[in-house]
Structure 1
């Protein structure tokens, strides 16, 4: 992520460096990406519409026709915080990677444990072909480069 602290202090999440430059970045982002990144609740850790603590439910990659690839990521709500999940649809995808951190020995894993973990922070940055969206999770990272993205709070069918 481009604006995280180095070194990153353990258990400290601070989107402030990114938020300071976001107004300038937003002007360079595609419409959907700008709307999602600048939503007032996006980085408000107390909000039911904050991305922090969402979990990955499903990721779908598909041919979208006209030589395009689309990705859809369905994030499930944290039952103690969110009133709904979040679906992000990426159009014109040119890069999609998922990195899963190595398991730590001795770590307790419960049947309901998520391997890739919970969302911690994300950044949307302008790119030559649209934007990039990097999502840091407790157990890995998702990275998408695309023409634009559209985020919708609610269930996947909405």
Structure 2
């Protein structure tokens, strides 16, 4: 993370999205439309909001290598104590997709049923010459995608999938 602050403390983590939000005002017009809409959503960084990304867990990821483009889709499951629904993010024309898991594995703050990458802490979307770069910090690692744009949708099925999805096609 270049702007958002994530610091480990004795009791867990200190998270502060304010430096990123201050920078977002300056870069907003350089972001693709979908990325800007997601980053600027009023609930995105409001820790009390059901539309805040904090505490989501990665449920599924898919990569589709289509003719002339790669599409990546991340599906996040809700935290049952905070979210009403899961989140699906679809990246168009992806050129970078990386997942890094921390070498030490689960940390001492994790619940017994916590997934390997853990819970989403904060994310940053910044402009990139190919569109946007989205970095997602998890308690047990990170995810980074560079793509021409992204489209985020809060979904009805608790696993981050849309209940009324007509097709399983990722744009191939």
TM-score, length-normalised on structure 1? Answer: 0.91
Alignment partners' CA distance in 1, 2:27 and 2:41: 14
Q: Which runs of 5 or more residues in structure 1 are unaligned?
A: none
In structure 2, the residue matched to 1:92 is 93
* Cα distance change, pair 27–151 in 1 and its aligned pair in 2 (3 A): same
Equivalent of 2:61 in 59, 62, 72: 59
Q: Deviations over 1:34-70 (max 9, x none)?
A: 00000000000000000000000001011233x1000
Alignment partners' CA distance in 2, 1:70 and 1:102: 28
Alignment partners' CA distance in 2, 1:68 and 1:89: 13
Are residues 1:26 and 2:17 paired?
A: no
Query: Matches of residues 106-121 of structure 1 in structure 2 within 5 Å?
Result: 110=112, 112-121=113-122
Alignment partners' CA distance in 1, 2:53 and 2:24: 16
Alignment partners' CA distance in 2, 1:122 and 1:55: 13
Query: Matches of residues 3-152 of structure 1 in structure 2 within 5 Å?
Result: 3-5=3-5, 8=7, 10=9, 11-65=13-67, 67-104=68-105, 110=112, 112-152=113-153
Is the CA contact 2:119–2:140 (under 8 Å) kept in the aligned structure 1?
yes
Aligned length: 155
Q: Which runs of 5 or more residues in structure 2 are unaligned?
A: 166-172
TM-score, length-normalised on structure 2? Answer: 0.84
Q: Which range moves more in the overlay, 98-107 or 138-147? A: 98-107
Which runs of 4 or more aligned residues in structure 1 lie more than 6 Å from their structure 2 counterparts after TM superposition?
none
* Cα distance change, pair 49–106 in 1 and its aligned pair in 2 (3 A): closer
Q: Deviations over 1:9-40 (max 9, x none)?
A: 53110001001111121110000000000000
